[in-house]
Amino acid sequence: MSSILIVGGYGTLSKELIQKFYKENWRIYTLISDKKLRKPAHVFEQYVFRYDSDSVKEVISSCRPDAILFTGAYDPLYQWDEESRTEESLNYITGLCNLLMCAAMAGIRHFIYVSSEKVFEDEYIVDIKEDMPTTPNSFPGMAISQGENLAMHFNQTTQCEVTVVRIAGLYGIPANREDCTDIYSELCLKALVSGRLEVNAKKVISALFVKDAAEALYLLINAPERKQRLYHISSMEEVTEDGAARLIQEKYSNQIAVADQTIGLMHRTILSNERFCREFPFEARNSYQEILPQMISFMKSHKNLFLQKEERQEGKDVKTRILRLLNKIFPFMESILFFIPFFILNDRAAGSPYFSGIHFYLLYVLLFAAVHGRQQAIFASLLSVIGYSLRQMHTSSGFSILIDMNTYLWIAQIFVVGLTVGHLKDKFREMEADKKDRIDFLTERLSDITAINSSNTKIKNYFAEKIISSTESIGRIYEITSRLDKAATGEVLFAALDTVSEIMETQDVSIYLVSDKEYCRLASASSEKARSLGKSIPMNQYQAIFDVLRSKQVYINRSLDSTLPMMASALFDDKGDMRIIIFLWDIPYEQMTLYQANLLTVVGALVYSGVVRDADYLDALAYRRFIPDTAILQEAAFKEMLEIYRHAAEKGYAELSVFYIKSGSQPLKEQNDMIRPLLRETDYVGVTSDGNLAVLLTNTNANESIYARKRLEEKGIKTYLEKEL
């Protein structure tokens, strides 16, 4: 029976892993730090120690698991609070380091470190692949990223196989409020508590359901071997934050308000799982469209687990209804309650010579207008009018009051003052709310500006380094490209490889010559990877590349397809025909910029200038290099070309094959007319010292030369290898 040690608190991921490995008949051990946690039913043995404890070594030696899985980024032990994030980061790294050291000393075969998408906190246009550098900005992101580096280091320096797995946006159906830590459960909790969701339509979400994550981890751990040491596991299912909010709004029976708070830049962090799916039979089976309704239903059915005491508002609870009603009518009851003493004071002061000048009703209206605003000012004014009318009816009839102009002046005075002060109070509240919203907006803008500034700083530092080192200065480029002028006749294309490789900072460069409008043939390549497209490329099979090149633009492999070059540039003659193509491979993603594209264009133009100059020079010396009226090289010229290609072959830039033809009694012109149509434009025929003919096949090995010899022999031309002469 296989066994596994799962390190981490009993969060959503750990619980699902326990269920999965139990079903697959694995023996399960767990290591936790919280003594309050109870051992789940399917756990064979539970150990309670700090991850950095000396006892961890004894724990691992005792259970001797086949694999250790550290839940890492999804361990609920680490809360990453603002107050304790520095301490949490330290505990995280020391705990992981101790686990790795103990696993290595105990001879554990496989250690799995679970990371997350938090190590990528910059903005990305394309899907993020495993070979792209991490960009953490926050304490959690930096700690998790350091954990990855630590795990990779142990993988290189110990016999223990360490695998880093980045799980993108893990989510599950939470058991209680504390489990609401992922993006979907947080949205559902906000909808349940406040009935309002504030969303950003520029935030793109891609999350993986916990059952799919557990299935993927099982496939990884149960495999007899793993080809890579770093994998991404994700659903590749994209949805904007407002799209998820609309689904929650649709599934809730209560009215949920969705407020669009879209500001700032597009935030998209999507991990590509292409590498994992290519190696393992994995497919995400659970969609957020199916899981979110289940999550909402569970949270609504178990509100006591998710709502705090003051948040529990059941519609059928009479007490709650009364409290809500009282909360709404309290300001009106307060107005009535305060009206009574003001009414009495006004009645008593009517006949007093000392208080007759005090307008108690006006003071009453001003008080409530200043405290509560316009609504209570109107209500207080109505009560004051009623009180005034009752007092006047002691000495006058109701009809007299109605026709008395002073009554209406008094009422107008009360309402004007009350409404004015109440309006000012409401405006002040609106200003406060606007100011708060403005502060929140500017805070978000500041965050965006900080992110932009961080990117600009990286670019500034990059160019500053370039200026200081001067590796791409005009003088440096001139120094490198001047080597083309010093290259031997016919050797320019091979010298161009060194030139392009050094300037563009890549070891994988290939140069192709366009033989006609449909094919291009390999002229030289600096590595096996650079010649991976083949020695002859049909352009119609790579339209994505050649459509861009025909428009005289630089091709950039933005999809990061490993079977295609990262960048390519075409060189054109005076007639606008494509003549030479330069392919660059293995360029870091951060260097695939407009600057690099322009640099490749400039370098390509210099290379083409050297090639044209070399061709013109050879044409000018054609009468000295070729036998008259033929394309057969003189003996010295052929030896020179043979030496050039042999030198290039020694550097790995080209391949060559040589065979010989016994010269017959026919004139060389007739032999030339028979031989040249059977060879390629890039092949050479020359005269040897004994008067026979030699054929140099460029970029052709010994096995491939058989086809050229066969074509010649079918026409009655006998060919020989050197050893047979």
- Give CA–CA dist 482/608, Å, rounded: 13
Residue pair 280/217 in contact by the 8 Å Cβ criterion: no
In angstroms, the Cα distances linking 386 to 165, 268, 355, 402, 644 are 76, 63, 21, 13, 113
- The CATH label, of 3.30.450.40, 2.40.30.10, 3.40.50.1390, 3.40.50.620, for the domain at 474-618 is 3.30.450.40
- Give CA–CA dist 108/224, Å, rounded: 15
The count of C-alpha atoms lying within 13 angstroms of the C-alpha of 350, restricted to the half-sphere facing its C-beta, is 14
Structure tokens at 254: 């209560």
Domain ranges of the chain: 3-171+204-238+264-286, 331-436, 474-618, 622-724
Residue pair 240/207 in contact by the 8 Å Cβ criterion: no
In three-state secondary structure terms, 382 is: helix
pLDDT at 316: 45
Q: Residue 395, by phi and psi: left (phi above 0), alpha (psi -120 to 50) or beta?
A: alpha
Mean pLDDT by 10 residues, the chain (725 residues): 91 92 92 87 88 88 91 90 85 94 90 94 85 89 94 88 93 87 87 82 87 94 91 90 85 76 76 92 90 88 77 56 76 82 73 66 83 84 81 69 75 85 86 85 74 64 62 61 66 78 85 81 85 86 88 85 88 84 83 79 81 64 70 82 80 82 77 82 81 82 81 81 56
Judge: domain 622-724, CATH 1.10.3720.10.
no
**Residue written as token pair 């428009």:** 551
pLDDT at 619: 56
Structure tokens at 268: 């998209």
- Look up the CATH superfamily of 3-171+204-238+264-286: NAD(P)-binding Rossmann-like Domain (3.40.50.720)
**Residue written as token pair 């529990």:** 312
- Give CA–CA dist 656/680, Å, rounded: 13
What is the DSSP code string of 629-673?
A: TSSEEPHHHHHHHHHHHHHHHHTTS--EEEEEE---SS-HHHHHH
pLDDT at 152: 92
In angstroms, the Cα distances linking 480 to 595, 616, 621, 635 are 19, 22, 27, 33
Q: 482-518: per-residue pLDDT in tens?
A: 776 666 666 777 777 888 888 888 888 998 888 777 8
**Residue written as token pair 């006004």:** 346
**pTM, 2 dp:** 0.49
Longest CA span, the chain: 150
- Give CA–CA dist 469/186, Å, rounded: 49
- Give CA–CA dist 485/614, Å, rounded: 9
**Taking each helix axis from N to C terminus, what angle separates 85-105 and 55-63, rounded to the nearest 10 degrees?**
50
| C-alpha dihedral, 298 to 300 to 306 to 312, nearest 10° | -160
Residue pair 124/168 in contact by the 8 Å Cβ criterion: no
Structure tokens at 196: 């309002």
- Give CA–CA dist 312/300, Å, rounded: 11
